[in-house]
Amino acid sequence: MTDFAREEDFRSWGNVVQAAHAVARPFWRDQLTATVSTGRQQGLALLATGLRRSYGDSVLNPAGGMIDMTGLDRIIAFDPDRRLLRAEAGLPLHTLLDLLVRRGFFPPVTPGTRYVTLGGAVANDVHGKNHHVNGTFGRWVRLLGLLRSNGEELQLSPTEHPDLFAATIGGLGLTGLITWVELELTPIDSASMDVENIPFDGVDGFFALARESEGNFDYTVSWIDCLAAGPSLGRGIFSRANHSESGSPLPDRGNTRFSMPLDAPQFAMNRHTINAFNAAYFRNGKRKSGPARVGIHPFFYPLDSIGRWNRLYGKKGMYQYQSVVPPSVQYDATKEMLAAISASGQGSFLAVLKTFGDELSPGLLSFPMEGTTLALDFPNRGEETLRLMARLDEIVLAAGGRLYPAKDGRMPARLFQAGYPAWQAFSKHVDSGFSSLFWQRVSQM
């Protein structure tokens, strides 16, 4: 378990890079020091992995050694009176939800999939639909354990080793191995969500709904039709929701209804199929708009109902592009990006627009900042797709925005360094025994 074995086809969620990796799979906390030391003796630069729901190369390290943390998934302590949970870093959110929701608690922040580990959520300082209320995941981490490649075991918090804590939250796994996490939970009254879905006709409609909703709704997000053009540019469905005060106490099961057995043929994802899907989805959303009470899973994790949906993009995989731009330019920059995407005819069903609030993120490299975030999947069509993303990069750069490393597999070093001015302060905390393909690319001067 502490040895590294070669795995030929080790991928992240986007499937663009398919490379062999040396992987160790420890199961117990007391095996971690031996695992790290074995890797170092073999001259491997290390990196932890959780459930590999990151899209690009921040969770790849072909020349080094990966430590798969998913075997470390035990709860260490739970104190309902203080709303604190301590667990091993490989614990997945889906297991946590099974335990917490029926006891009247919810994670303070959840991303759009429940297949993420606590360690992965910390290392990417993930955000959710309630960013305007709760900020990022890292704001709720009270303590964590970190193992450095020299064998040193540290306990970090906003007051114990605060600088290393700030580097580790959103630190992309580069400061060492997160071994356990203590998290403050959110109390909830029921396992149901009161949701309202409201269609809007364009970018103006989105911003008007965001302004109107943020004071009264804990969760807001919208799906957009990224191929709509002209007066419909940026049309979509805005969802806003609160935990219901009187819904069912027991969570819905959140079953996976269907799993992609194989990679879909490349032609399945073309302009015409995507356009037809988006138009039908928008019409359907319009018909079904209004208030509804739904379970936690369909509201937070609709994509998890299709197992391995990333295979829909075929063998060449896909890129995700997630940007955030500041409030002063959010309207123009969002419109400009949507116009460029629509004109290119590239895009997918998965396009999300959301405003981030002004809660400060605790990590030196945390992605969220106040403004508007746009996230889209692009089937990998080689040069054509890279050209479109380079055009979007220019808009983000001019707007003073940044891209999300968890979703990225190609951003140029100059965009990373401009978007993350604290990157050099961060690099002083990088453990010299750890590395990733992402870091090798973006930290070049």
Please report whether residue 44 would count as binding ligand FAD according to CB under 6 A: no
| Least distance to ligand FAD, CB of residue 270, Å | 22
Please report whether residue 373 would count as binding ligand FAD according to CB under 6 A: no
Please report whether residue 164 would count as binding ligand FAD according to CB under 6 A: no
Q: Candidates 124-132, 200-208, 259-267, 285-293 — which segment interacts with ligand FAD by CB under 6 A?
A: 124-132
Please report whether residue 177 would count as binding ligand FAD according to CB under 6 A: yes
Q: How many amino acids of this chain bind ligand FAD (CB under 6 A)? A: 32
Looking at 32, 45, 46, 123, which residue binds ligand FAD (CB under 6 A)? 123
CB of 59 or CB of 442, closer to ligand FAD: 59
| Least distance to ligand FAD, CB of residue 307, Å | 12
Q: What φ, ψ does residue 67 adopt, rounded to 5°?
A: -110, 105
CB of 121 or CB of 156, closer to ligand FAD: 121
Q: What φ, ψ does residue 49 adopt, rounded to 5°?
A: -130, 145
| Least distance to ligand FAD, CB of residue 343, Å | 26
Q: Are strands 402-403 and 258-259 parallel, antiparallel or unpaired?
A: unpaired
Please report whether residue 134 would count as binding ligand FAD according to CB under 6 A: no
CB of 145 or CB of 247, closer to ligand FAD: 145
Looking at 14, 39, 64, 120, which residue binds ligand FAD (CB under 6 A)? 120
CB of 201 or CB of 218, closer to ligand FAD: 218
Please report whether residue 166 would count as binding ligand FAD according to CB under 6 A: no
CB of 59 or CB of 411, closer to ligand FAD: 59
Q: x/- contact string, 88-117, with ligand FAD (CB under 6 A)?
A: -x---------------------xxx--xx
Angle in degrees, 0-180, between the axes of helices 203-213 and 330-344, rounded to the nearest 10: 140
Burial 154-165 (b: 16+ CB within 10 A, else e): bebeeeebeebb
Site for ligand FAD, residues 406 to 435, rule: CB under 6 A = 406
Measured CA distances, 69 to 65, 75, 117, 218, 324 (Å): 13, 14, 9, 32, 30
CB of 51 or CB of 185, closer to ligand FAD: 51
CB of 113 or CB of 220, closer to ligand FAD: 113
| Least distance to ligand FAD, CB of residue 310, Å | 7
Looking at 25, 52, 86, 235, which residue binds ligand FAD (CB under 6 A)? 52
CB of 128 or CB of 234, closer to ligand FAD: 128
Residues 305, 311, 312, 318: what is their CA dihedral angle, to the nearest 10 degrees?
120
Q: x/- contact string, 263-302, with ligand FAD (CB under 6 A)?
A: ----------------------------------------
Q: x/- contact string, 296-325, with ligand FAD (CB under 6 A)?
A: -------x----------------------
Token pair 């590239």: residue = 346
Please report whether residue 119 would count as binding ligand FAD according to CB under 6 A: yes
Please report whether residue 364 would count as binding ligand FAD according to CB under 6 A: no
Please report whether residue 186 would count as binding ligand FAD according to CB under 6 A: no
Residues at the site binding ligand FAD, with contacts judged by CB under 6 A:
13, 47-54, 58-59, 69, 89, 111-113, 116-117, 119-121, 123-124, 126-128, 172-173, 177-178, 303, 406
